[in-house]
A and B are shown apart, each in its own frame.
Chain A
């Protein structure tokens, strides 16, 4: 499978909202509601932020939200904070009991 497509970088000022896209195909994002998002600060392991397109694990602020339209999933972070600066990765079920990640997006808080 090919990696899902994410923008290399996005940026925003504190308090603003940013959206990170994750584009796949009819074989993964478009065919299943099994998209998850991970936050990875530099030098640390990823952390689950969203699962099943739009579900938030306990402890994740409601500033983080997820959605999907056709073959593109999106992660929106509202009320941007300095601590949100990190790399973000999407992941989707790709059929045949396999999963595929996106290439990652670097979020810079200006």
Chain B
């Protein structure tokens, strides 16, 4: 079965870059029917869909309007993983970050979730 294992620092300084990775087992990051999604959860904002990447003969990414200017999601086929980078972070970016796998381009449902990574933005 598909397993997603997240890693990354739990503390990021304000104005710095938040970087997380999601290692995939049981599926290929290049699978043309899978989508790799990032979501975050905080008490103030609840669950928030952040963005996704997917391979359809080439790589594509979609982002939520709220983070589009600061976020990049990449795939690393050699390591079978996806990564998230969020620039210029503020305390409002403090949240539990999840990666997930989607199986339908339009439906967007997430059928496998990582374990979550708590990221605190603080000096």
Q: Write the residues of chain A forming the contact surface with B, with a CB cutoff of 8 angstroms.
A: 1, 3, 32, 34, 36, 38, 45-48, 51-52, 57, 89, 91, 93, 97-104
Contacts and interface: CB of A to CB of B under 8 A. Distances in A.
Interface in B82-108: 98, 104, 106-108
B73 to A, nearest CB: 13
B46 A34 contact: no
Contacts, number: 63
A98 B64 contact: yes
A52 B62 contact: no
Nearest to A45: B113
Contacts of A104: 46-47
A81 to B, nearest CB: 22
A22 to B, nearest CB: 12
